[in-house]
Structure 1
Amino acid sequence: MGTQNGVIHGPDGSATTPSLVFIAALDRVLALLKNECPDAVERIVAVSGCGQQHGSVYWGSNAASLIAEMNPEVEMREQLQDAFAISNGPIWMDSSSTKWCQRLERDLGGPQAVANLTGSRAYERFSINQVAKLIDTHPNEFKNVSRISLVSSLLTTIFAGRFVGIDESDATGMNALDLKSKIWSADVLKSVGGAAVKNPESTLANLLGPVATPYLPVDNISSYFVERYGFSPKCKVVPFTGDNPSTLAGLGISAAGDLAVSLGTSDTAFAVVAKSACKPSGIEGHVLLNPVDPDTFIAMLCFKNGSLAREQIRDKHANGEWADFNSMLSKTEPGNNGFVGFFHPEPEITPPTSKPEQIHIFDANSDAPVSVASVAPEIQIRAIIEQHALRLKQHTQILGVSKVKRILVSGGASANFEILRVLSNVFGVPVYETVGGSTAAAAYGGILRAQHAMACEAEGGMYVPFQPDIQVRLVVEPDSAAHGVYQAAMERFEKLERVVVAL
């Protein structure tokens, strides 16, 4: 379909995917399921899953009838190729909507006002800013849009055989849903429609449709799937959600006090936060509605400089070997004798920095950086590991994550015990890993959420606690003395980070 790795890149920073790609992928997955597990399909009692967050889909005027009347003898891809008013929808990689992000923040009173209302400041990849761009740049095509979906609700819609709304959790990754009321913000929709859309509050609200409750089934599965693939006609469809909230569900992060940390190319943190404690930031991070607990939020942070930054220091000072790296790390004490470092091979996003290839190290007696060359290799090694743990604690606290009870780790660096020891000591809580790994956590989250929705339906549609049976293994417990050292270091770390951002 003219894509490279599923994406079409434009010269203005745009990144789109043909909406038919997702339909074709579903065709292929279901064909494999039928061929490899023919006897299991009819025993499936509920389906759910996830789609890449922020991707949006624009259905045409004939889409509803095409979806409802699909012929089970024909693949969906063939039947739905004319179902889209705008064939290629923007995805999470798109960075072309800066102008419309600025307009939204101006209209609503600034980035903090947008974050307070929707959970995040205006981001280019967030779907409502892409909608605003399409209204202005593709007005003729947009006039033919009958419904707007995200990738997640596209899948829910296909399985149900009718339009189904975006689930509450994925909707909070759009800059459009009011976190408190769980309805589309009239102020946001008015800004997005501008002068180009008559009555934008009602018009855009109708195009988006009402949001779906994430923990309840929406319908029985469409007859198309019963007749073509052998699903039971009693099989329930549960709203699909975004890949990030689904990952949280798949890891079993279900209650306030849980923190999931992925130590990969970038370091990402997910936490469940009580609504009363949550603090959306107009500078960094995101707050999402929790798809498995209506009484809590998800706080999410991403740090661009993760494993690649750690590996750069390993390669420079430890012969490219983690064993040597860990040996040198163990030669220094928690707190690093007052040395604090900030390692940014790439411009950082949390907090935002503008310059690449930056290393700044401070000794115990100065608030100005010292010469990096004058700092011993083992000091630099501890400095980067402590920086990465301290920043996680500082910035999760900014979003309201103040009472962490346990950390669940994933990602490549989670195999390094010495790194996890520092993480445990900084937070003062035990660190766990899932038994058997978590490489398919997003998909597994769909399974657990479908199971959870059936439990809620069995209680007459009342919410029941999400308590998945996920086995975890204790990796390391904190040392109280080391935790005290890091507690005392937090204030200075925050101060020096502000110095680095200003450089």
Structure 2
Amino acid sequence: MRSDDLILAIDVGTGSVRAALVDASGHIVSIVAREHDQIVPQFGWSEQRPADWWEGVVTAVRGVLSAVPDAAGRIEAICACGQMHGTVLVDADGQPTRDTVPLWNDKRTAGLVGAFEEANAAQTYLARTGNPPTPAWPAFKLQWIRDADPDAYRRAAAVIMPKDYVNFRLTGEIEMDRTEAACSFLMDPRTGDWSPEMVDRLGLDLQKLVPIRGAMEVLGRVTRQAAMQTGLREGTPVLVGGGDYPVALAGSGVLAPGLGSEMIGTSCIVTTIADRPILAPEISNVGTVDGAWGAFMLLESGGDAMRWARRALHEGTVSYETIVERAAEAPPGSDRLFFVPYLTGERFGRHRNARAQFFGLAAGHGLTHLHRAVLEGVAFAVKRHIDVMEANGGPRVERLVASGGGARTDLWLRIKASCYGIPILVPQEAECGIVGCAAMAATAMGRFPSLTNAAAAYVSFEREVSPEPRWAETYQRMQPVFERLYHHSQALYDDLDALA
């Protein structure tokens, strides 16, 4: 890789496709985004058109190429990441058998997941899947398509994910990486290959599952047709790539045990790196791009809790900055006011119908207490997740890397560091997925001996947020109360539903 060589990173997100050129030092030279629609045919459904992803790739790639002199000739390799779990069925010619595909946030498979849980004890499948069941996983989306659109299922020759479809349009090759396969509910983590037993148990077709490759392997090269459409140089190497979430882990420097990740947007995902999956009904596991495992737990209401507070308490008339300023006026612990943040339930476990609540309200509490309690409630819930992973054999988290929109809120970072008792690092470059793609491609092209070396060169941190001792003492006393509140409330969720 010459000093003037570039990496092309492509991120197929839920809201847009982004293309970026990254130089040999890991700096983003140019980035262009092309938005696409999310289709909601009915409540709980979420779909997109693969054709829209490819149109976005063509537009975004041409945009970055036009911004940098001789860019196409300088691109050493291409690496794509993308939204996970979007289940694309293609026929023998690579054409989608359905115009739209169900996305990661599509809930139409909830009934199928419930039926599976009723019929199967956790100990019979956790070791074979590495994950508890959830409507997000492609296995259940395939079941739904099999039953609701049998013609599309019958005509399908292969099942791939969003970035795999883009890779096919670039190279003509169809394969999948282990980061995606590991979160399909069909890959056996012990073998790293598809599980014939789980495929059979779910009534699916093993022949439709494509080979599983390493994320940093070269998949193929840009075809003449793709070069004509995008402006890329024919023959440019294209990596297998990975899911946006594990690629962003690499792009934030989270690659070894002891270093954790918290990605906070609408939801909040906390991840710890381990040598093998942590098998427990509440814990999910994703394959990392370099062959390890990321154990993670997801809180559905992360940033969404603040969004709810803005809407419910102010009818959207004040800014998020104002809400944070008001929260800062309240004391740590909000004068013993708790917020349980399960506004949209939980993704895993027996209590997907969980609810949110304030507990401990007294006459002396006001808006400032409510706002701080919301921020603290999310922190207590994530702290619970960290404790659950450690209690089930996960490595102790010594530092946490924060990314996403929530990483820009200083008060929230101080609350979290104090609640977790862990220093929090904030990356200099917020585009962790793009940086991760660049680090993977640079490693694959031989610029670095390992992804760890690439991440060390490409990832830097703008600051470290340390726990504040007085706050930490308050939160340490409150955490056991939050835990009891969490468990005791579960008995009431079904009663609440019965009132509907």
TM-score bracket, normalised by the shorter chain, equals 0.7 to 0.9
Question: Are 2:275 and 1:275 aligned?
Answer: yes
Structure 1 segment 292-311 matched on structure 2, within 5 A: 293-304=290-301, 305-311=304-310
In the superposition, relative to structure 1, how do residues 322 and 113 fare at CA in structure 2: closer, same or farther (>3 Å)?
Answer: farther
Q: Is the 8 A contact 2:50 2:100 kept in 1?
A: yes
Partner in structure 2 of residue 29 of structure 1: 60
CA offsets, 1:56-107, max 9 Å, x none? 22112333xxxxxxxxxxxxxxxxxxx2333332222322223332344355
Q: Is the 8 A contact 1:341 1:383 kept in 2?
A: yes
Q: Give the Å deviation of 1:474.
A: 1.8
Question: Are 2:88 and 1:57 aligned?
Answer: yes
Q: Residue 383 of structure 2: which of 388, 393, 396 is its match?
A: 393
Q: Residue 477 of structure 1: which of 452, 463, 466 is its match?
A: 466
Q: Give the Å deviation of 1:38.
A: 5.5
In the superposition, relative to structure 1, how do residues 143 and 474 fare at CA in structure 2: closer, same or farther (>3 Å)?
Answer: same
Q: Give the Å deviation of 1:15.
A: 3.2
Q: Which amino acid aligns with 2:103?
A: I
**Distance of 1:484 and 1:146 partners within structure 2:** 58
Q: Is the 8 A contact 1:314 1:320 kept in 2?
A: no
In the superposition, relative to structure 1, how do residues 413 and 147 fare at CA in structure 2: closer, same or farther (>3 Å)?
Answer: closer
Q: Give the Å deviation of 1:232.
A: 4.7
Q: Give the Å deviation of 1:322.
A: 4.7
Partner in structure 1 of residue 435 of structure 2: 444
Which protein shows a greater Rg? 1
Q: Which stretch shows the higher mean deviation, 347-356 or 179-188?
A: 347-356
Q: Give the Å deviation of 1:326.
A: 4.4
In the superposition, relative to structure 1, how do residues 302 and 342 fare at CA in structure 2: closer, same or farther (>3 Å)?
Answer: closer
Partner in structure 2 of residue 244 of structure 1: 245
**Distance of 1:115 and 1:470 partners within structure 2:** 34
In the superposition, relative to structure 1, how do residues 383 and 236 fare at CA in structure 2: closer, same or farther (>3 Å)?
Answer: same
Give the secondary-structure state (helix, strand or coil) at the position aligned to 2:88: strand
Partner in structure 2 of residue 172 of structure 1: 182
Partner in structure 2 of residue 76 of structure 1: none
Q: Give the Å deviation of 1:149.
A: 1.2
Q: Give the Å deviation of 1:167.
A: 0.6
Q: Give the Å deviation of 1:433.
A: 1.8
Q: Which amino acid aligns with 1:139?
A: P
Partner in structure 1 of residue 455 of structure 2: 467
**Distance of 1:212 and 1:32 partners within structure 2:** 30
Q: Which stretch shows the higher mean deviation, 213-222 or 338-347?
A: 338-347
Give the secondary-structure state (helix, strand or coil) at the position aligned to 1:474: strand
Give the secondary-structure state (helix, strand or coil) at the position aligned to 1:279: coil
**Distance of 2:229 and 2:337 partners within structure 1:** 64
TM-score normalised by L of structure 2 = 0.78
Q: Give the Å deviation of 1:50.
A: 1.4
CA offsets, 1:154-202, max 9 Å, x none? 1222222222x21100122222111222111112210232xxxxxx5xx
In the superposition, relative to structure 1, how do residues 413 and 313 fare at CA in structure 2: closer, same or farther (>3 Å)?
Answer: farther
Q: Give the Å deviation of 1:267.
A: 3.9
Structure 1 segment 150-229 matched on structure 2, within 5 A: 150-163=161-174, 165-193=175-203, 204-226=205-227
Q: Is the 8 A contact 1:309 1:343 kept in 2?
A: no
Partner in structure 1 of residue 340 of structure 2: 342
Q: Which amino acid aligns with 2:398?
A: K
Structure 1 segment 349-368 matched on structure 2, within 5 A: 349=347, 352=351, 354=353, 358-362=356-360
**Distance of 2:132 and 2:439 partners within structure 1:** 30
Give the secondary-structure state (helix, strand or coil) at the position aligned to 1:218: strand
Give the secondary-structure state (helix, strand or coil) at the position aligned to 1:122: coil
**Distance of 1:387 and 1:137 partners within structure 2:** 40
Q: Which amino acid aligns with 2:291?
A: P
Q: Give the Å deviation of 1:39.
A: 0.6
Structure 1 segment 317-336 matched on structure 2, within 5 A: 322=321, 326=325, 329=328, 332=331, 334-335=332-333
**Distance of 2:444 and 2:178 partners within structure 1:** 14
**Distance of 1:314 and 1:138 partners within structure 2:** 43
**Distance of 1:12 and 1:477 partners within structure 2:** 42
**Distance of 2:323 and 2:226 partners within structure 1:** 55
What RMSD in Å do the two structures reach over aligned CA positions? 3.4
Q: Give the Å deviation of 1:386.
A: 2.5
Q: Is the 8 A contact 2:134 2:348 kept in 1?
A: no
Question: Are 2:115 and 1:95 aligned?
Answer: no
Q: Which amino acid aligns with 1:274?
A: A
Q: Residue 446 of structure 2: which of 430, 435, 455 is its match?
A: 455
**Distance of 2:117 and 2:36 partners within structure 1:** 33
Q: Is the 8 A contact 2:133 2:348 kept in 1?
A: no
Q: Give the Å deviation of 1:499.
A: 1.8
Q: Is the 8 A contact 1:340 1:361 kept in 2?
A: yes
In the superposition, relative to structure 1, how do residues 226 and 120 fare at CA in structure 2: closer, same or farther (>3 Å)?
Answer: same
Q: Which amino acid aligns with 1:417?
A: D
In the superposition, relative to structure 1, how do residues 413 and 91 fare at CA in structure 2: closer, same or farther (>3 Å)?
Answer: closer
CA offsets, 1:350-409, max 9 Å, x none? 7846366x53314xxxxxxxx555645554444333322121111133234552222232
Q: Is the 8 A contact 2:300 2:345 kept in 1?
A: no
Partner in structure 2 of residue 287 of structure 1: 285
Question: Are 2:436 and 1:426 aligned?
Answer: no
Partner in structure 1 of residue 6 of structure 2: none
TM-score normalised by L of structure 1 = 0.78
In the superposition, relative to structure 1, how do residues 267 and 15 fare at CA in structure 2: closer, same or farther (>3 Å)?
Answer: closer
Q: Give the Å deviation of 1:501.
A: 3.0
Q: Give the Å deviation of 1:116.
A: 4.2
Give the secondary-structure state (helix, strand or coil) at the position aligned to 1:49: strand
The percentage of counterpart residues that share the same residue type is 18
Question: Are 2:79 and 1:48 aligned?
Answer: yes
**Distance of 1:404 and 1:310 partners within structure 2:** 30
In the superposition, relative to structure 1, how do residues 212 and 300 fare at CA in structure 2: closer, same or farther (>3 Å)?
Answer: farther
Partner in structure 2 of residue 137 of structure 1: 148
Q: Which runs of 5+ in 2 are unaligned?
A: 1-34, 493-500
Q: Which amino acid aligns with 1:27?
A: V
Q: Is the 8 A contact 2:439 2:455 kept in 1?
A: no
Give the secondary-structure state (helix, strand or coil) at the position aligned to 1:84: coil
CA offsets, 1:279-311, max 9 Å, x none? 34424x5310111x3133242423324322454
Q: Which amino acid aligns with 2:155?
A: N
**Distance of 1:34 and 1:335 partners within structure 2:** 51
Q: Is the 8 A contact 1:314 1:325 kept in 2?
A: no
